[in-house]
Amino acid sequence: MTAERRLLASIHDVSPRFESQIDALVDRLSARLGGTRFAMLVVPDHWNRAPLAADRGFQARLRNWADAGVEMFVHGWSHLDDSSHANAADALRARHLTAGEGEFLGLDQGEALRRMRRGKALIEEVIGRPAAGFIAPAWLYSEGTRSALTEAGFALAEDHLRVWRPASGAVVAKGPVITWASRSRSRQLSSLAAAAVLRQAMRRAPIVRVAVHPGDTSVPRLLESIDRTLATLLRGRKPGRYEALAAS
């Protein structure tokens, strides 16, 4: 890893279901980062309602973005939590940390591996190259999911606090992701406050991560905060690529 400070930006929940919102986010990040130096987290069948395999037009767009330099991560399979959580702590996390979208929080190793391999095969066929890695929906992982990552052959994985290489377990970046929540006014306000604090607190960090979601495009205050955060963090820092963490 070089000493150069970097900003890793990503668009989550990339799916035919949110095509217009994804377009808006691509335009926004491209303008502020000076090109396609960001990642996309692709959901193969968002909420089992938007199968990527059936949408040739969106497949072509993903391939074009990948050809232009956008890094493509596998982002679960459906992004929908269909597990029953016997563990009280996991049930609490599933209820309060995400709106029923922590797909991999309750999966055992076998089912997690099946979904990972299925998503990896589809996305790699679409983009014509290896996926950059795997990031669980809502950054929530069961122990089985973490174990399955090594077998699935992903170069990188990420949760809310770190990026690591599943093959070795080596942590290659630390620090919270700066992100925003749009699904309620209280969550909007708390995410705005967190972004304001973190973009100052992390100004000297060697690597910072910023993640945006389709829902952000519907809330002008969130878009203003995203712009302010990117502008602050790009002072003395360049847009980076996750692949540098895999290779370092």
Q: Which residue has the higher pLDDT, 96 or 191?
A: 191
Residue 92 belongs to a domain: yes
152 lies in some domain = yes
Residue 102: pLDDT band (50, 70, 90) is confident
Predicted local distance difference test score (pLDDT) of residue 82? 73
The answer on pLDDT for 86 being more than 90 is no
Determine the structural domain holding residue 34 and report its residue range.
Answer: 6-247
Per-residue CA distances from 83 to 72, 117, 142 (Å): 26, 19, 11
What's the confidence (pLDDT) of residue 91? 44
Q: Would you say the pTM of this structure is higher than 0.95? A: no
Is position 148 within any domain?
Answer: yes
Q: Quick check: helix, strand or coil at residue 12?
A: strand
CATH code at 81? 3.20.20.370
Q: Is residue 85 part of a domain?
A: yes
Tell me which of 141 and 102 has the higher pLDDT. 141
For the chain, the average pLDDT equals 93
Residue 1 domain-assigned (yes or no): no
In a domain, 173, yes or no: yes
pLDDT classification of 85: cutoffs 50, 70, 90: very low
Residue (of 236, 189, 187) closest to 208 by Cα position: 236
Q: What is the pLDDT of residues 117-155, one digit of tens each?
A: 999 999 999 999 999 999 999 999 999 999 999 999 999
Instruction: Write down how long the chain is.
Output: 248
Q: What does the H/E/C string look like for 143-183?
A: HHHHHHHHHHCCCCEECCCEEECCCCCCEEEECCCEECCCC
Contacts of 160 (CB under 8 A, 6+ apart): 139, 176, 177
Decide if 170 is inside a domain.
Answer: yes
Taking the C-alpha atoms of residue 128 and residue 135, their distance in angstroms, rounded to an integer, is 19
Q: Could you give the number of structural domains in the chain?
A: 1
Contact 9, 210 (CB under 8 A): yes
Residue 99 is predicted with a pLDDT of: 61
